[in-house]
């Protein structure tokens, strides 16, 4: 199996040069994206087969460092992530078949797209630290190239620069983590790391480094600053891949280190992960609520969902540390199911934003509105994505959050006092983020798709092409299926939890009516299928009865609006005014949000103005000082560029003496 998967990766890599050659031809994007679609689908099937039946398979290739070789392996965990990555990749390729046709500089996108997909797959397949890190860096660089594809647009180059810095920082942290894991004996193979787990002190440093490394890629607060800049800058199908899929590769890296390589966890690791997850979830959604750029809003929302995933993983670590294997299986399943769900609906939403961008040329919600009339099918698919991501039943986002809540309800049995205080607070943060997410997506859908068009561009939008629509509807159907039949997906995750924890959640498939029962039926159960059927049934009964028995007459008229309808679309609520109450409630403390009104005196003809000032306190506290320090240090060190040759020689000589001294004292 792993051989076959590697063949697919080689196919991706060979597509890149073909794309370079072809890129001037008008058919290039069709060829590249269609081949990527086929390869990703194949890989997704391979992943699915490995997950359901095949035992782990491995292979060693005589590549990379001569004494090490490149090791690849597929086990249950990597098989699951193969499915997630390639399903997202397949949908993105499908979407790009239509969307990519309108790309004005295809030669900047096409060669890097298959290489990027290859990089993500190799990270998941890698079985030694060296291949893992090389693939990780390859993935970062190809995605950077895609972020700066439209380098002439405002801010994109800066976004790419910040992204490159953060990616490099993350890789550095992972490099150190793997170096510590390898220890003095050079065992870079995952297998030998597993055989000799590190000592407690080393493990503690490794988990912190792994958190920092994975966080920088996944966009966990406070390492999130690059994400909302970089994700929207890329073309929309790439944004979908970066937001929906690449963040999951980072989660994979963390799960691999924390659950697989490090051996038995210590309870305080979970506190770290839980606290970070909870804060990330709420901060991410609050940032998202303040945005009125549609793609940036979605990118910030990724930060929130990564927080939810980390809450699940943190709970699983806590339960594992205290030997509560069943509860750990529940929490890990919740986290991983959210990985799968988020990759689906986030890709769907980015596709919708891409379709809107194509049709109107606008990403700013303040310039949209009324698109549901002009783009009904896109609007429907986007609505499905909004309901799913807001964790509303009967779609899939709700299932994973529900499982996380059930895991939280099992946690009073944890005996550490720190966790006893932290877990309820994290539960409250999770509930808060779920409610705020719903508010955020009422805003995203309501302002862009509903109401009256705010600009001529929005009024003249046309429905997007059939390939893009097919990709969106495919993902919408997946959202519904994963929502009403979650049992199938929970069972599919059983091999993963079995491999990492030794147990899995109770088997769901045989239960009556396909109900989901995480622990015991008397404790909790949820049946998405029945809820869905009930809602559809009672809605249609009501519609049928009313139309038959009462009245079905309808008349169009002007809006009522309490008797004062104003024909100008500027009188509608905008994205900023919609978020104003929430900004006032949460933003004054979290963002130091301030509204400055400038009212001209009577008789003056200039317009009144209201400006909203929002400060990113994390940026101010964590990033701005670093930038100031580097500025200062480079200013001082600049002197070294203008020395005479004698001084340079002195400098080199004294450095040599110093290093030799250090070596002498060290040994």
Partner 1 sequence: MLLVLLLAPMLTGLVRVVKARLLRRQGPPLLQPYRDLIRLLRKEVVLAHSASWLFRVIPYLVFAGTWVAASLVPTFRSGLLFSWSADLIALIALLGSARFFLALAGLDVGTSFGGIGSSREVMIASLAEPAMLMIVFTVALIAGSTQLSVMAAHMTSGAVGLRVSLGLALLALIMVSIAENARIPIDNPATHLELTMVHEAMVLEYSGRHLALIDLASELKLLFYVSVIACLFIPWGIAPPDGNAGAIAVGAALYVAKLAAGAVLLAVFETSIAKMRVFRVPAFLGAALMLGLLGTLLLFVSGSL
Task: Show contacts with partner 1 in window 362-421 (CB under 8 A).
Answer: 369-370, 372-373, 376, 379, 383, 387, 390-393, 398, 402, 405-406, 408-409, 411-412, 420-421
Shortest CA distance to 36 belongs to which of 96, 125, 102? 96
The answer to the question of residue 515 lying near partner 1 (CB under 8 A) is yes
How many residues lie near partner 1 (CB under 8 A)? 90
The answer to the question of residue 432 lying near partner 1 (CB under 8 A) is yes
Identify the bridge partners of residue 223 per DSSP, sorted by sequence position: none
The answer to the question of residue 442 lying near partner 1 (CB under 8 A) is yes
* Separation between Cα atoms, residue 599 and residue 608, nearest integer Å: 5
The least distance separating partner 1 from the CB of residue 571, rounded to whole angstroms, comes to 5
Tell me which stretch binds partner 1 (CB under 8 A): 28-36, 143-151, 202-210, 433-441. 433-441
Residue from the set 108, 194, 525, 612 that interacts with partner 1 by CB under 8 A: 525
The residue among 23 and 580 lying less far from partner 1, judged by its C-beta, is: 580
The least distance separating partner 1 from the CB of residue 532, rounded to whole angstroms, comes to 10
The answer to the question of residue 569 lying near partner 1 (CB under 8 A) is yes
Element (H, E) at 589: helix 588-590
Sole residue written with tokens 């059939």: 466
Residue from the set 551, 589, 611, 644 that interacts with partner 1 by CB under 8 A: 551
Tell me which stretch binds partner 1 (CB under 8 A): 126-134, 233-241, 538-546, 608-616. 538-546
The answer to the question of residue 610 lying near partner 1 (CB under 8 A) is no
Q: 3-class DSSP state for residue 70?
A: strand
Sole residue written with tokens 């994205």: 575
The residue among 160 and 370 lying less far from partner 1, judged by its C-beta, is: 370
The residue among 415 and 611 lying less far from partner 1, judged by its C-beta, is: 415
Sign of CA dihedral 270, 273, 276, 282: negative
Check if the beta carbon of residue 591 is closer than 8 Å to that of residue 614: yes
The least distance separating partner 1 from the CB of residue 277, rounded to whole angstroms, comes to 16
Query: Residue 500 contacts by C-beta under 8 Å, 6 or more apart in sequence?
Result: 77, 255, 259, 260, 332
Tell me which stretch binds partner 1 (CB under 8 A): 115-123, 176-184, 450-458, 636-644. 450-458
The answer to the question of residue 546 lying near partner 1 (CB under 8 A) is yes
What is the phi-psi region of residue 513: left when phi exceeds 0, alpha when psi lies from -120 to 50, beta otherwise?
A: left
The least distance separating partner 1 from the CB of residue 460, rounded to whole angstroms, comes to 16
The least distance separating partner 1 from the CB of residue 415, rounded to whole angstroms, comes to 11
The answer to the question of residue 267 lying near partner 1 (CB under 8 A) is no
The answer to the question of residue 536 lying near partner 1 (CB under 8 A) is yes
Q: What angle do CA 372, 294, 576 make, to 5 degrees?
A: 95
The residue among 66 and 561 lying less far from partner 1, judged by its C-beta, is: 561
* CB count in 10 Å sphere of residue 281: 30
Residue from the set 67, 195, 415, 562 that interacts with partner 1 by CB under 8 A: 562
Check if the beta carbon of residue 235 is closer than 8 Å to that of residue 103: yes
The answer to the question of residue 513 lying near partner 1 (CB under 8 A) is yes
Check if the beta carbon of residue 357 is closer than 8 Å to that of residue 236: yes
Check if the beta carbon of residue 411 is closer than 8 Å to that of residue 328: no
Check if the beta carbon of residue 392 is closer than 8 Å to that of residue 434: no
The answer to the question of residue 550 lying near partner 1 (CB under 8 A) is yes
Residues 150-179 that bind partner 1 (CB under 8 A): none
* Separation between Cα atoms, residue 146 and residue 261, nearest integer Å: 32
The answer to the question of residue 439 lying near partner 1 (CB under 8 A) is yes
Say how far residue 126 (Cα) sits from the centre of its chain: 21
The least distance separating partner 1 from the CB of residue 586, rounded to whole angstroms, comes to 8
The answer to the question of residue 423 lying near partner 1 (CB under 8 A) is yes
The least distance separating partner 1 from the CB of residue 508, rounded to whole angstroms, comes to 14
Sign of CA dihedral 662, 664, 665, 667: positive
The answer to the question of residue 446 lying near partner 1 (CB under 8 A) is yes
The residue among 425 and 640 lying less far from partner 1, judged by its C-beta, is: 425
* Separation between Cα atoms, residue 216 and residue 227, nearest integer Å: 9
Tell me which stretch binds partner 1 (CB under 8 A): 104-112, 136-144, 150-158, 566-574. 566-574
The residue among 258 and 410 lying less far from partner 1, judged by its C-beta, is: 410
For 208, which DSSP code?
A: H
Sole residue written with tokens 């609505």: 383
Element (H, E) at 222: none
The residue among 192 and 580 lying less far from partner 1, judged by its C-beta, is: 580
Check if the beta carbon of residue 490 is closer than 8 Å to that of residue 410: no
Residue from the set 559, 628, 640, 660 that interacts with partner 1 by CB under 8 A: 559
Structural tokens at position 308 = 């939810």
The residue among 75 and 362 lying less far from partner 1, judged by its C-beta, is: 362
The residue among 236 and 527 lying less far from partner 1, judged by its C-beta, is: 527
The answer to the question of residue 468 lying near partner 1 (CB under 8 A) is no
Residue from the set 542, 640, 655, 661 that interacts with partner 1 by CB under 8 A: 542
Residues 184-213 that bind partner 1 (CB under 8 A): none
Structural tokens at position 155 = 């801010």
The answer to the question of residue 287 lying near partner 1 (CB under 8 A) is no
Residues 617-646 that bind partner 1 (CB under 8 A): none
Distances in Å between the Cα of 607 and the Cα atoms of 570, 600, 601, 603, 637 are 15, 7, 10, 11, 50
* CB count in 10 Å sphere of residue 601: 6
Tell me which stretch binds partner 1 (CB under 8 A): 210-218, 238-246, 306-314, 553-561. 553-561
What's the length of the chain? 667
Residue from the set 521, 613, 620, 631 that interacts with partner 1 by CB under 8 A: 521
Residue from the set 498, 538, 650, 654 that interacts with partner 1 by CB under 8 A: 538
Shortest CA distance to 278 belongs to which of 386, 80, 421? 421
* Separation between Cα atoms, residue 480 and residue 433, nearest integer Å: 22
Check if the beta carbon of residue 321 is closer than 8 Å to that of residue 258: no
Structural tokens at position 217 = 């890629």
The least distance separating partner 1 from the CB of residue 585, rounded to whole angstroms, comes to 5
The residue among 63 and 439 lying less far from partner 1, judged by its C-beta, is: 439
The answer to the question of residue 561 lying near partner 1 (CB under 8 A) is yes
* Separation between Cα atoms, residue 106 and residue 26, nearest integer Å: 9
């Amino acid at each position: 199996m792993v051989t076959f998967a590697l063949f697919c990766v080689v196919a991706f890599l060979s597509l890149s040069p073909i794309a370079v050659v072809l890129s001037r031809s008008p058919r290039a994007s069709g060829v590249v994206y269609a081949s990527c679609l086929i390869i990703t689908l194949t890989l997704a099937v391979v992943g699915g087969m490995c997950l359901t039946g095949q035992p782990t398979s491995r292979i060693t290739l005589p590549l990379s460092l001569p004494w090490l070789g490149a090791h690849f392996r597929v086990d249950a965990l990597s098989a699951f992530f193969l499915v997630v990555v390639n399903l997202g990749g397949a949908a993105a390729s499908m979407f790009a078949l239509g969307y990519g046709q309108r790309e004005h500089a295809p030669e900047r996108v096409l060669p890097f797209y298959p290489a990027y997909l290859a990089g993500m797959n190799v990270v998941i397949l890698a079985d030694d630290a060296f291949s893992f890190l090389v693939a990780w860096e390859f993935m970062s660089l190809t995605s950077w190239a895609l972020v700066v594809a439209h380098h002439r647009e405002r801010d994109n180059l800066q976004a790419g620069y910040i992204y490159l810095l953060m990616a490099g920082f993350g890789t550095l942290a992972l490099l150190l983590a793997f170096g510590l894991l390898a220890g003095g004996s050079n065992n870079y193979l995952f297998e030998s790391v597993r055989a000799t787990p590190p000592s407690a002190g080393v493990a503690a440093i490794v988990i912190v480094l792994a958190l920092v490394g994975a966080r920088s890629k996944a966009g966990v607060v406070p390492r999130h600053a690059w994400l909302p800049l970089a994700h929207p800058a890329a073309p929309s199908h790439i944004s979908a891949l970066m937001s929906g899929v690449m963040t999951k590769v980072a989660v994979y890296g963390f799960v691999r280190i924390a659950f697989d390589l490090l051996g038995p966890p210590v309870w305080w690791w979970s506190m770290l992960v839980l606290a970070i997850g909870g804060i990330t979830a709420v901060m991410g959604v609050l940032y998202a609520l303040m945005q009125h750029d549609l793609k940036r809003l979605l990118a910030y929302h990724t930060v929130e969902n990564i927080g939810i995933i980390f809450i699940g993983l943190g709970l699983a670590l806590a339960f594992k540390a205290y030997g509560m294997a069943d509860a750990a299986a529940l929490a890990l399943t919740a986290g991983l199911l959210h990985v799968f769900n988020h990759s689906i609906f986030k890709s769907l939403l980015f596709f919708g934003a891409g379709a809107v961008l194509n049709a109107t040329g606008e990403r700013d919600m303040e310039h949209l509105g009324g698109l549901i009339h002009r783009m009904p099918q896109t609007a429907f698919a986007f609505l499905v994505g909004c309901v799913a991501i807001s964790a509303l039943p009967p779609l899939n986002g709700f299932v994973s959050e529900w499982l996380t809540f059930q895991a939280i309800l099992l946690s009073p049995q944890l005996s550490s006092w720190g966790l006893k205080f932290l877990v309820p607070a994290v539960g409250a943060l999770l509930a808060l983020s779920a409610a705020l997410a719903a508010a955020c997506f009422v805003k995203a859908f309501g302002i862009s798709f509903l109401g009256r068009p705010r600009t001529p561009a929005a009024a003249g939008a046309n429905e997007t092409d059939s390939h893009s629509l097919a990709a969106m509807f495919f993902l919408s159907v997946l959202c519904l299926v994963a929502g009403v039949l979650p049992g199938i997906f929970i069972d599919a995750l059983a091999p993963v939890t079995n491999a990492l924890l030794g147990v899995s959640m109770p088997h769901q498939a045989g239960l009556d009516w396909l109900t989901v029962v995480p622990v015991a039926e008397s404790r909790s159960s949820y049946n998405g299928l029945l809820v869905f059927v009930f809602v559809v049934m009672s809605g249609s009964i009501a519609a049928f009865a009313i139309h038959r028995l009462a009245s079905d007459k309808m008349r169009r008229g002007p809006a009522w609006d309490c008797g004062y309808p104003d024909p100008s679309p500027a009188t509608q609520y905008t994205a900023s005014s919609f978020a104003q109450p929430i900004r006032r409630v949460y933003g004054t403390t979290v963002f130091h949000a301030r509204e400055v009104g400038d009212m001209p005196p009577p008789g003056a003809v200039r317009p009144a103005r209201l400006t909203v000032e929002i400060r990113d306190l994390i940026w101010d506290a964590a990033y701005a000082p670093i930038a100031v320090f580097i500025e200062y240090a480079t200013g001082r060190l600049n002197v070294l560029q203008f020395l005479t040759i004698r001084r340079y020689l002195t400098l080199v000589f004294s450095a040599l003496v110093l290093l030799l001294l250090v070596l002498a004292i060290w040994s």
